[in-house]
Copies of this chain bind each other. A is one copy, B any other.
Amino acid sequence: MKKITIGAVLFSLMFTGLNAQSLKSPDGKFEMNFQLKSGVPYYNLKYNGGIVVEDSKLGLRLLKDGDIQFASEIENKNNEGKNLDYGFEKTAEKRDSKNETWQPVLGEKKNYINNYNELAVTLNQKENDRSIIVKFRLFNDGLGFRYEFPQQKNLNYFIIKEEDSEIDLPTDMKAWWLAGDYDTEEYVTQTSKLSEIPAKWPTSYEGNASQNLVKNGVQMPLMMKKEGTNPLYVNIAEAAVIDYPAANLELDATNFKFKTHLTPDAQGAKGYIQTPSVTPWRTIIVSPKAEEVLDSKMLFNLNEPTKYKDTSWIHPTKYMGVWWEMIIGKSQWAYSTADNVHIGKTDFSKLTPNGKHAANNTKVKEYIDFAAANGFQGLLIEGWNIGWEDWFGHSKEFVFDFITPYPDFDIKMLNDYAHSKGIKLIMHHETSGSASNYERWADKAFQLMNKYGYDAVKTGYVGNIIPRGEHHYSQWTINHYRRIIEKAAEYKIMVNSHESVRPSGESRTYPNWIAAEAARGTEFEAFAGNNPDHQTILPFTRWMGGPMDYTPGIFQTKLDYYFPGDNRFVKTTLAKQLALYVVMYQPLQMAADLPENYAKHMDAFQFIKDVAADWDDTKILSAEPGDYIHTARKAKGTDNWFVGGITDENARDFTVDFSFLDKGRKYEATIYEDGKNADYINNPQSYHIYKKTIDSKTKLPVHLVRSGGYAISVKPVK
């Protein structure tokens, strides 16, 4: 709560004046008010009559206006009079509304509803004779707004110093937050009051292969909750981050006020703009129910429909991978014992093999056999190409060529073998952050994929970005990701990008961007570890803008199985691993463990074999960030449902209400639940599987042990 000053009271009075514009959501529950105060634009947001966002300032500061000729430094100190944050007059107001249903190529539901009322206010800055538009879209689940820069005589090119869009909350809230950074989201989510963030911030992050922290900043999507008798959930994010840097949020923890903090480039500039242009949308999703936040499709609705004419080649895939054994340290990506290699010069066939190279013909064929026998469509193979000997930590620009296999990887034979068994190999393009190098090789790399029949690639950006000084979230790199996605589309290739920026609904426009990583995935269980509440938070944060390649399915959660005395372990029960396939939407769904571990638990593995990766419908049965999520989904094109539930470090009971099933129809449910004595630390592999005939009236009690879960496969009785 802020101190009320006389000034603030006066402003509030002014706000009701003639100069204000009001916008309501289609259901009438939200109200957004826009007003110029002394030439400065402000907006606020109300939900059911209560203030959700107080009067909050809008505007941008510029480094340069117009040309940057004959300048060796981009900042023009005399440029302040050119900022786009003052001296505005409203010159036009345009209203619009939409209520449409659209079909995502891959999605959680068959139909996404896009229903909003729109207000576009044209603001003229008289001093510089130029205009911008602030566009608001008010949905039944909250607000989106952005700036638009029409092409005009006095507004053609400019460089952003900062976008100062504010979101001023009326009160302290509980927040699930990540330390702000320009390069990585791979931090542990912190849970605290907003007011506690400055104190907690200094210990909220660990080292990362590439990191550039934003002091006291937090990342988006940011999930918050106003606690108390009338709880309200608020999620702040951005949508359609195209040709613009991604943002962190700066927090004024005394006033509970957020401000955008864009990612700079190598010179500190935060966006080179050529009009006509638009910014990303700033989004505020609001609901008294956490489940409705998870159900929001606002970020996708605020992206443009795809321009791809043919999307038939984009499909869900369940896959295995020659991967986890490298992550845990049992095998290696590199082929040889060398530690300094030169692509194009080193003869890898003459190097001494290290004996631990996983991507070899024999092992890959074994994986193909297992994946094919169990109905998978894809097999990811990492470490197939030359360069892994010194791929990381040296800022090598020419680190990989993406086309030359190691001597023990017969690319033609293995693809032919895979295809003969109904499996497609999944390509891997680790860039080591050297995006400029990847762009140089992309055509040849995709041509190689077409030649051998790969139709999906996992890309990776571990380490600092090259061009040096750029960041994983800076405008140049954001454009790089898009260029790769678009080029991949030319070759009909699906992309799963790791260590890239988190998606903000862009898969609506670029549906071959089938997934991204951009948070701590399962791999971190083998690094610094994920907390038991991790998976109950991610769907409220990382997932809001698009699927994450979380790579669940670890059955052998204790790594001392491989390395006696090793105390690393995956902090879930086996049953919770199954539940993740439902709770976490991912059309490119991995079964990440080794075949030998699945072979020991074929009864539990059956759920992974059965579960769908793309859906006609989704019901969030119950959810609370950081505590639990229970989700039911209907498999694409079938009447089969899958239900999953997970809990944090606390054991919980839950009753699954099957009222979402067709009335009067009988279903056979197969329940995979934690064993009676299961425990994520002491007894993670204890599970219990049973079958039960159910219908829409069934209320099924389930018990989740601490960091446990359950998965249910539901099929109509024929």
Contacts and interface: CB of A to CB of B under 8 A. Distances in A.
Interface stretch (A82-90, A210-218, A602-610): A210-218
A267 interface: yes
Interface string A243-286: 00000000000000000000001110100101100000000000
A156 B341 CA distance: 10
Contacts of A183: 72
A544 B89 CA distance: 61
Interface string A639-672: 0000000000000000000000000000000000
Interface stretch (A118-126, A357-365, A468-476, A506-514): A468-476
A151 B340 contact: yes
A462 to B, nearest CB: 10
A688 interface: no
Interface in A69-84: 69-70, 72
A210 B436 contact: no
Report which residue of A393, A394, A476 has the largest number of chain B beta carbons within 10 angstroms of its beta carbon.
Answer: A394
A209 B69 contact: yes
Judged by DSSP, the binding face of A is: loop
A207 interface: yes
Contacts of A212: 72
Interface string A155-176: 0110100000000000000000
A568 interface: no
Contacts of A479: 397
Given A69-B392, A274-B342, A436 B156 contact: no
Contacts of A151: 340
Contacts of A464: 68, 72
B394 A68 contact: yes
Nearest to A152: B340
Interface in A301-339: 339
Nearest to A487: B440
B397 A272 contact: yes
Nearest to A480: B436
A439 interface: yes
Contacts of A467: 266, 436, 467-470, 476
A416 interface: no
A396 interface: yes
A159 B393 CA distance: 12
Interface string A209-241: 111110000000000000000000000000000
B274 A394 contact: yes
Nearest to A439: B440
B267 A469 contact: yes
A295 interface: no
A698 interface: no
B156 A274 contact: no
A208 interface: yes
Contacts of A70: 207-209, 211
Given A72-B210, A476-B468, A396 B340 contact: no
Nearest to A182: B72
B269 A393 contact: no
A596 interface: no
A209 B183 CA distance: 32
A443 interface: yes
Interface string A424-464: 00000000000010011001000000000000000000001
Contacts of A340: 151, 156-157, 274-275
B67 A393 contact: yes
A196 interface: no
Contact of A69 (B275, B393, B470): B393
A469 B70 CA distance: 15
A395 interface: yes
Interface of A: 67-70, 72, 151, 156-157, 159, 183, 207-213, 265-267, 269, 272, 274-275, 339-340, 342, 390, 392-397, 436, 439-440, 443, 464, 467-470, 476, 479, 483
12 contacts: A68-B393, A68-B395, A68-B464, A70-B209, A72-B183, A72-B213, A157-B340, A265-B469, A267-B468, A274-B342, A397-B476, A440-B483
Given A69-B393, A272-B396, 17 more contacts: A67-B393, A69-B209, A70-B207, A72-B183, A151-B340, A156-B339, A156-B394, A157-B396, A265-B469, A266-B267, A272-B397, A274-B340, A274-B396, A440-B483, A443-B443, A467-B469, A469-B469
Cβ-closest 7 pairs across A and B: A467-B467, A266-B266, A266-B469, A69-B393, A67-B393, A157-B394, A70-B207
